[in-house]
A and B are shown apart, each in its own frame.
Chain A
Amino acid sequence: MTAVVTTPARTSSRAWKKLRANKSALVGACIVAVFVVLALLAPMLPIADPTGTDWGAIRKAPSLKAWMGTDEIGRDVLARMIWGAQASLLAGVVSVLIAVVVGVPFGLVAGYFGGWTDSIISRCTEALLAMPFLILAIALAAFLGPSLTNAMIAIGLSAVPIFIRLTRGQVLAVKTEDYVEGARAIGLGHIRIMTRYILPNVFPPILVQATLTIATAIIAEASLSFLGLGQQPPAPSWGSMLNTAKNFLSQAPWMAIWPGAAIFLVVIGFNLMGDGLRDALDPREH
């Protein structure tokens, strides 16, 4: 019997090639890159002060002076959009990091040790999954208090069970592999086996899920800010811009069009990237 050995390096280079050949994923990556660059360069760009009011320019339609128009107290919508990208992207990435940092170790422990440890962690995960993501995030944000930091914590904690379940499932599949048995046979400790041998092999699906969850987290942050539970005024955020805009739909529709379009674009960008990564990292596709 001949065994086909696939090294992680070869797999990742093949995945990278597949990812580069995937046009949708590239479009997604480009969209995300544009928003990331805009968010990072916001302090250096020649744009108006996002919180600076101008009572002489209230609800002005898009023009050469204000490309995306002005809002109900004369603030430049384009400047608020660019600065709002910071809040949205930060919330998306930080909340997913919280979910990964908390969820992956629990999933790893549950899957690796099995038994009562697994039973307790799995039952708790099921209970958390029984509460819909947004309702849980709203409840947590309500009890923690409205702020962008608390919104990120609330969204992150709400996404934890997704990563626990995913990691646990992957570990169950990997822990019976020969190389894990071999590591055990040479007397390596549990933590070393988990971090050196199991984690790198369960990482690809976690990366895919993390990319897709950033999209969900960005919508969740916008939803919480829309409800007044996220970024607090006057700091700009796409969700809170939409909340204000809904009161001026007939007088200033541009106030509602741009922030929503930005959320849609950045979310579609992450979704395309996530789908592309999934296809590239799926072993069945090779």
Chain B
Amino acid sequence: MLAFILRRVLIAIPTLILVSIFVFGLQKLLPGDPILVMAGEDRDPAVIEFLREKYRMNDPIPMQYLYWAGDVLRGDLGISLRTNQPVTELIASKLPVTIQLAIMAMIFALLIGIPTGILSAVRKGTWVDWLANVVALSGLSIPNFWLGIMLILLVSVNLGWLPASGYESPWVDPVKSLTTMIMPAFVLGTGLAATLMRHTRSAMLGVLQADYVRTAEAKGLRRNTVILKHAFRNAVLPVITLSALLFGELLAGAVLTEQIFTIPGFGKLIVDAVFNRDYAVVQGVVLCTAIGFIGMNLLADVLYVLLNPKLRALS
């Protein structure tokens, strides 16, 4: 098993190197010369030359990349132009907020998506199945920022049940943290719930026709036991690995959700950085998201092997 994990980590390394080249290349897309912008209105040639040397802009681009990648490997993602803080520090302070949001969204998605998927497969062809499919398609088609706005309008503005914005750490005030995050987590989890529902349904439909399920039914076992103990345990495997993959997507989806509910997380950090032309932060966020995404892919692969006895034996 360890050898399998090591092999997967080794395979991920070239991908990470390519991602880093791409993220480094992003700054080359910037129109104009960034050094001239940094030099201010005077554009003193001495200052320009000093800045070029400082930021190694006189070196060939491959050398610039190697210096940059070396800094990144040492955990140095540069300094934020806006706050003058190290980008790594900024990301480390915002990431826990987004991870909390993503975990809560994932809980919502699993609680909604999996039972609905099972029910839809078991009642295939009935109105329950039709309704579940319509809801899933709507969940996939609804822009989550609009759902967020509509929920604020209904739950916060009209009913006054939950706060429309804000954030509190769960370590400081767990109840307030829960009340401020419940709506954003639901919004973020909706699309994911729809995807999980569709996959659970299709996995369950495949399993429900398998011989061992028919045998279990023929033995006279209760329908619920057959569905939950025999069918679901086998159908859930791809769904769990898919959840790990989709967790990475949640980090991206959080950008808009955090913007609507004014949550000071990772997503809001990238948006603020974009508007303040804080490109080091934008690069840092993209790189960290990609690393997280690759990490979740790795976890999905490992989980798939761990949970599948046949593959476990092979590995």
Tell which of A141, A245, A249, A259 has the most Cβ of chain B within 10 Å.
Answer: A249
Q: Which B residues between 104 and 162 are near A, CB-CB below 8 angstroms?
A: 137-138, 140-143, 145-146, 149-150, 152-153, 157
Supposing A126-B15, A131-B293, A142-B282 touch, asked if A268 and B141 sit within 8 A by C-beta, the answer is yes
Supposing A123-B14, A223-B145 touch, asked if A131 and B29 sit within 8 A by C-beta, the answer is no
Chain B interface size, as a band, is 35 or more
CA distance A260 to B142 in the complex (A): 8
Q: A133-154, CB under 8 A of B: which get 1 and which 0?
A: 1111011111111000000000
Contact yes or no, A134 B141, CB < 8 A: no
The closest CB in chain B to the CB of A266 belongs to B141
CA distance A253 to B151 in the complex (A): 12
Contact yes or no, B149 A242, CB < 8 A: yes
Q: Which B residues between 19 and 60 are near A, CB-CB below 8 angstroms?
A: 19, 21-22, 26-27, 29-31
CA distance A134 to B188 in the complex (A): 14
Contact yes or no, A124 B282, CB < 8 A: no
CA distance A138 to B267 in the complex (A): 11
Interface SS of chain B = helix
**Complex contacts, A268 vs chain B, CB 8 Å:** 137-138, 141
CA distance A165 to B17 in the complex (A): 20
The closest CB in chain A to the CB of B285 belongs to A135
CA distance A131 to B16 in the complex (A): 10
B147 to A: closest C-beta gap in Å? 8
> Which stretch (B172-180, B206-214, B216-224, B247-255) binds chain A?
B247-255
Q: Which A residues between 62 and 100 are near B, CB-CB below 8 angstroms?
A: none
A45 contacts chain B at the CB level, 8 A cutoff: no
The closest CB in chain B to the CB of A127 belongs to B18
> Which stretch (B62-70, B77-85, B228-236, B271-279) binds chain A?
B271-279
**Complex contacts, B157 vs chain A, CB 8 Å:** 249-250, 253
**Complex contacts, A123 vs chain B, CB 8 Å:** 14-15, 18
A39 contacts chain B at the CB level, 8 A cutoff: no
Contact of A127 among B22, B26, B30, B275 (CB under 8 A): B22
**Complex contacts, B290 vs chain A, CB 8 Å:** 127, 130-131
B294 contacts chain A at the CB level, 8 A cutoff: yes
The closest CB in chain B to the CB of A245 belongs to B149
Q: Which B residues between 265 and 300 are near A, CB-CB below 8 angstroms?
A: 270-271, 273-275, 279, 282-283, 285-286, 289-290, 293-294, 297
Q: A126-B15, A128-B22, A130-B19 are in contact. List 6 more A-B contacts (CB 8 A).
A: A134-B256, A135-B286, A143-B29, A259-B146, A260-B150, A275-B137
Measured CB to CB, the residues of B under 8 A from A are 14-15, 18-19, 21-22, 26-27, 29-31, 137-138, 140-143, 145-146, 149-150, 152-153, 157, 248-249, 251-253, 255-256, 259-260, 270-271, 273-275, 279, 282-283, 285-286, 289-290, 293-294, 297
